[in-house]
Every structure is written in C-alpha cells, then in structure tokens.
Amino acid sequence: MGVRGLFYYTKIYHKPIENENHLGKDLRVGIDTLCLLYKFHGDIKKIFTFLKPILHHKLLFVFDGKAPETKMEEVQKRKDSINAIQEKILILKGWLNSDISDEIKNSLKQRIEKLEYDSWTVTYEIRQEFKNYLKEHSYAFVKSNQEADAVLIDLYYANYIDVVLSQDMDFLIAGVEKIWTISNDFLKQINLKMILDCEEINKEQFKEVAILCGIDNIKICAIDDVTDAIQLIRIYGSIESIMNHKENFIQLPNPNYVRDIKKRFYPNRLEPLKNVKEEHLEFLEPFRQMV
C-alpha cells in the first residue's frame, strides 16, 4: 500500500536485534520475500549473508501473488515508468556509438548504470531460482493468492509468526508489534508499542495517521509529514473530529473512504489461511505448532 513518509519517520525507533529472543525460544519470522529480492537484486548469496544473524530463528518466506484490483492502476504506472526508463537507456546506449569524447562517454555510462539499477525488476525466472534455492536448503515458503502483506498480517494475528521482516511499514499500521527492517544495510527492529507510547496514540489512531499522510498516493489533505499527522490526531482524536473542527481541511474521495481503507489493514480472523496457496499449506504446520 505504501504510507507516505512512514519509513523515514520510524528511523528514530530502529534498534539492534542482536540476541533477540522470545522466552528462550527461536522466533518465527515471516519474511516479505520481494523486499529482499529487490534490495539485493536477486543475489541469493548476498541475501543469505545479510540474513546470517537470524538464521537460527524459524524463517518463513512469503511470495507475492497477483496484485488486487485496487492496486492495478498503481502497478500499471510502475510498468509504464520502467518502460520509459528502458527507452531512455536505449537512446543513451545509441549515443555511445556516436563521435563523442571519452569524458562524455564515461558520463553516459554512469548514467546508464544508474538507470539500469533503478529500473531493475524481479522476473519470473528470479523468483523461481530463489524458490529452488529455498527448497534445496529446506527453508519454508508460501505464495500468497494476493500480495504477501495480506498473508503475513493474517499469519501474525493467527499466531503462526512472531515478527515480520520487511521494508514495508504498513505492517505497523496493521498492528504488527515487531518489525525487522533493513536500515543502512543492517537489520534493525521496530517496536510498535514504543511508537504508540511515545506519541500517546492508539492503534486505530495510527491507522488514521497513515490515511492523513496518504496511502497509494491518494492525498486527502495537505499534510506531508507523519509527525504533523500524529499531532493532529493527538489533538482531535480522529479524522472525523478534524473534519468537524477544521472545515474543508480534509477532502475524502467518498464518505466511506476512511472505513474502507482501515479494512485493508485488518486481518482475516475467520479464515487466516485463505490467501495462502493450497499446495503450500503443509509448510505452515510447524509454525502453527509452536507456542
């Protein structure tokens, strides 16, 4: 989903996870696989070198499925952006064959390398290679029928996992208490309770903070800073109250917008495994049995 500015805001709460332990038992870690593949451009050796400090825990890699209809427009925009970058790369490579100085050629090569890095994407082949590696080394993985975050949130609330490893801070908005994330190339921990206690707001109000900041690039007000959004929610208590006290400050796309967005952060408590591919359900059994 993507909450504008949330990752940057959480940086002051990034803490080391060394010797992290839960009542003397290994933690069950649900991993947003796509974030690792993007971070390390599919380099399996680099991924597991990075994960080495937590390999003693019980890891569950979760792969994305098809994006929901609500995100198809955003997905298409990403594809269009990547295609535009690829066209620019082709044009710049064409210039390399022209009669230009070595200095300009070197500058063009650096620009091309930067564009290629920025436009890198996870292909089907890269996913399959990583899955094969997980199989060969007996790591558990499942594929979501939707996005990985839907499965990870459901598994967390159904007590299959204790912590989520991801670059996506939406898990905090969903109420996941413990997030492990990549911060300056190190694995760090974010504790939701610490944030809520420091800011003196509750989980429902944190959801409204996210909505004020903008989700899926939809802005309902002029706020661009998470801290400002938190201050407003702390003062007024809710988006509804802000609208009652500050006329025309917030413009909702429709009357049910806040309610509908919040629903996207709630777990499926009745069918927590609904979004897991049926052929992968067996991999979850060892996680369910741990208490």
> How many whole angstroms separate alpha carbon 198 and alpha carbon 78?
36
CATH 3.40.50.1010 intervals, the chain: 6-69+122-196
**3-class DSSP state for residue 205?**
helix
Give residue 23's pLDDT.
44
Confidence check: pLDDT of 223 > 70: yes
pLDDT number for residue 22: 46
Residue 259 exposure: Cα atoms within 13 Å on the Cβ side = 3
Q: For 6-69+122-196, which CATH superfamily applies?
A: 5'-nuclease (3.40.50.1010)
The architecture in CATH of the region 200-255 reads Orthogonal Bundle (1.10)
Q: Is the pLDDT of residue 158 over 80?
A: yes
Taking only the tens place, the pLDDT of each residue in 2-19 is 687 899 999 999 999 866
Query: CA–CA separation, 184 vs 156, rounded Å?
Result: 26
| Band of residue 146 on the pLDDT scale cut at 50, 70, 90 | confident
Q: How many CB atoms within 10 Å of residue 140?
A: 20
Which of these ranges, 74-78, 107-111, 146-150, 210-214, has the smallest mean pLDDT? 74-78
Share of the chain above pLDDT 70, in %: 91
> Residue 88 corresponds to which tokens in the numbers above?
């620019």
Q: Which residues contact 283 (CB under 8 A, 6 or more apart)?
A: 60, 140, 141, 142
Residues of the chain with CATH 1.10.150.20: 200-255
Smallest CA-to-CA distance from 238 within 258, 214, 216 is with 258
Sign of the torsion formed by the C-alpha atoms of 151, 67, 141 and 280: positive
Among the residue ranges 9-18, 62-71, 163-172, 220-229, the one predicted with the least confidence is 62-71
Radius of gyration of the chain (CA): 21
Tell me the whole-structure pTM to 2 decimals.
Answer: 0.86
**Entry field: residues in the chain:** 291
Instruction: Categorize the per-residue pLDDT at 291 as very low, low, confident or very high, splitting at 50, 70 and 90.
Output: very low
